Chains A and B, each alone.
Chain A
Amino acid sequence: MTILQLHDVAKSFGEGSQRVDAVRGVTFAVGRGEVVALAGPSGSGKSTLLALAGALLSPTSGAITVDGKDITRYGARARTRYRRDRVGFVFQGSNMVPFLTARENLLLVGEFGGIDRSALRRRADELLEKLDLAGVRDQIATRLSGGERQRVAIARALMRDPALLLVDEPTASLNLELGIRVVDALVNEVHVRNKACIMVTHDDRMARRADRLVEIRDGQVLAG
């Protein structure tokens, strides 16, 4: 069953001679319980695609539907709500709130409203356990190691039980062994919880752990 569907999506930045066509007519779908690895060289449009799927950017043309609803028609408030309730983001850089503990970084998502907080506390403890973070739950984010931080980021993305997980180079700052462990934890969560996931990576060894590989060059999909 399809969760995310991109249909002939294009995105360009700038005007005239400055114009960059970052994504050019991309069509593909991600189903429930599926991890799609999005691979391609630097500058090929991977992050832009992820931002489009997460309503951080609006496409220049084309349609993006999530659970059958076209998110490109959403206004500013609906987009904020969509990101809050339907999407779990894991960004490339450090995306922790530095002065919060690991556990508080998870509970943070309850701050934005629209959810029962006591259920969130249970969920946070459960995810910390599952991602092997129970020992550092009360550690301030800046004291966490790179691998711990990435796993907290994944746990946070899962907190509100989103339909769609969007992950940008989750292992860029990790060594191979740690990277594989983080990706495996992610893939496992997606399978168990029946979510759709796009994971951007330029590392074949990570891409192989996904269910499917989508390769992208110069803003276009090569094979799917």
Chain B
Amino acid sequence: MLALIEIRRRKLQFGFVTGVVLLIAYLIMMVTGLGLGLNQQAGTALLNLNGDHLAYASNANLSVIRSRLADSDVSEIRSIPEVERATPLGYVAVVIEYAPETSDTAAILGVIPGSFAEPEVIEGRSIAGPNEILIDRTWTRLAGAGVGDSLALPVAFDTRTFTVVGIVDQGYFFFQPAMYVDLSAWQAIVFQGEGAQQPAASVVLLQGQQLAGRSGAGWQIVTKQDGFENIEGVRAQQSTVDALRYMGLLIGAMVIGVFFYVITLQKTALLGILKAIGASGVYLVTQGLLQVLVVSVAGAGLAVGLALLTEATVLSSDSIPIRFTWGAIATAAISVVVAGLVGVALSARQVTSIDPIIAMQQQ
């Protein structure tokens, strides 16, 4: 009762801390959401691939950009007994001018039509010929293109016109909206010139058990997750975001902890009197915990609301790479509550060590 009545009667003071907790929780949610959003841009399309391993050229250092596999590599990889299914996948970044003077980069992925590397089409149909293309929703929103439109892609020193036959929902591949063409069309785009050896694929997508770590003369296999984490910038991005998140949590714990430490100090005289008339240290610490719980749960709860509101308004456009998931929101909210409880644990010692004799020393 004491803890709750105090909150009710000192609304300004407790409202202020609740506001601080709210802002910290919201900040952590934004940072976590930014991490998620950036990761999505880094490669949802890669993570969405219907396989569990990827084979890269061994000299590519696990970079899809640099990886080029020859026919012989692909057939060697296919012949590994543990490989259940394998399909070549080509990747190349192209700049597409989708309106006069307006262009953007897209990730062109070459797949064999009908193979398990081909994504599910959410509108239109799959590719059936070398001049057809599937585009991702993100590109549709960016460039306004839809089923039936034409796209001019640079092929050798010319452009070739592709017809959009379907829309997919795979997201980004390597920070670029994913597009899917016939593997032969990809080969035409990355054509090395007469006489040079033509690549068969960038990587091979694999299904099968215990393939990670396998390697041959020109290739090596890693898990899809490893492949994702080796996308240039993903690791650095992830550790930056994590550092910001932990920083936010630390600041949160400190602010909440210091606040309760200060109000404990302010109340030392009162706590002394309560002890003198029979309150136990456990009772007083429990009241403190209750207050922190109320304040931090209220702050975190309001932050969840604010995050949802942000998601519904500001983030409904694609320009800000922040994505909220329930997991991220819940993690941030729970962390802030835990940080608060850690904070109060620090003032618990303070409370239990108050000597009730101070009740007699006040005038």
Known: A56-B357, A99-B10. A80 touches B5 (CB 8 A): no
Q: Which of A21-29, A107-115, A129-137, A176-184 contacts B (4 or more CB under 8 A)?
A: A107-115
* CB 8 Å contact bits of B246-288 with A (1 = contact, 0 = none): 0000000000000000000000001001111111100100000
Interface status of B356 (Cβ within 8 A of chain A)? yes
The number of chain B residues with a CB under 8 A from chain A is 22
Instruction: Collect the chain B residues with CB atoms within 8 Å of residue A61's CB.
Output: none
| Chain A residues, CB < 8 A from B283 | 111-113
B275 neighbours in A (Cβ, 8 Å): 80
- Say how far A98's CB is from chain B's closest CB, in angstroms: 7
| Contact for A92 among B1, B9, B280, B363, CB less than 8 A | B363
Residues A91 and B9 in contact, CB atoms below 8 Å apart: no
A99 B276 Cβ-Cβ under 8 A: no
B120 on the A face (CB < 8 A): no
Q: Name the distance in Å between A197's Cβ and chain B's nearest Cβ.
A: 16
Residues from chain A with Cβ under 8 Å of B1 in the complex: 111
Within the assembled complex, what's the spacing in Å between the Cα atoms of A168 and B362? 11
Stretch at the interface among A2-10, A62-70, A81-89, A186-194: A81-89
Q: Does A77 contact B (CB under 8 A)?
A: yes
Other-chain residue from A57, A83, A100 in contact with B277 (beta carbon distance below 8 A):
A83
Residues of B within 8 A of A81 (CB): 278
What chain A residues lie within 8 Å of B276 (beta carbons)? 54, 56, 83, 89, 91
Instruction: Answer yes or no: A214 CB below 8 A from chain B CBs.
Output: no
B196 on the interface (CB 8 Å rule)? no
CB < 8 Å: which of A85, A91, A98, A111 contacts B359?
A91
The distance from the CB of B275 to the nearest CB of chain A, in whole angstroms, is 7
The answer to whether B273 and A111 touch across the interface, beta carbons within 8 angstroms, is no
Q: Can you sample 30 A-B contacts with CB below 8 Å?
A: A47-B360, A50-B360, A51-B357, A51-B360, A54-B276, A56-B356, A56-B359, A77-B280, A80-B275, A80-B278, A80-B279, A83-B276, A83-B356, A84-B278, A89-B276, A89-B359, A91-B273, A91-B360, A91-B362, A92-B360, A93-B362, A95-B273, A97-B273, A97-B274, A98-B270, A99-B6, A111-B1, A111-B2, A156-B277, A157-B277
